[in-house]
Amino acid sequence: MTLMQKVDTYIWAKRSSLIKSWERTLSITKTKKRFYRRRYKKQSVPPPADDTTIEDVPEGGFYDNHAHIR
């Protein structure tokens, strides 16, 4: 066995030891894990800008107790 074959064997043995048996049965790969993390990582909501204004809501509006629909 040449040196490169030994190195190759060592690298693949190390990589395969990092994959759990249930991940192998479900065909979960390193790439799938990476994209799953990227897709489902909690996104922080950016704070609203200071220059935005809330339009005036007419008095009563949706929160009026005397509205015709309750």
Instruction: Give the pLDDT confidence of 50-70 residue by residue, as tens digits.
Output: 665 666 655 655 555 665 565
Residue 45 lies in a domain: no
Residue 24 lies in a domain: yes
pLDDT, residue 9, reads: 92
Residue 25 lies in a domain: yes
Residue 17 lies in a domain: yes
* Per-residue b or e along 6-45, where b marks 16 or more CB atoms closer than 10 Å to that residue's CB: eeeeeeeeeeeeeeeeeeeeeeeeeeeeeeeeeeeeeeee
The domain tally of the chain equals 1
Percent of the chain with pLDDT over 90: 13
pLDDT, residue 25, reads: 77
Residue 31 lies in a domain: yes
Q: Which domain holds residue 19?
A: 12-36
Question: What pTM was estimated for this model as a whole?
Answer: 0.31
Residue 47 lies in a domain: no
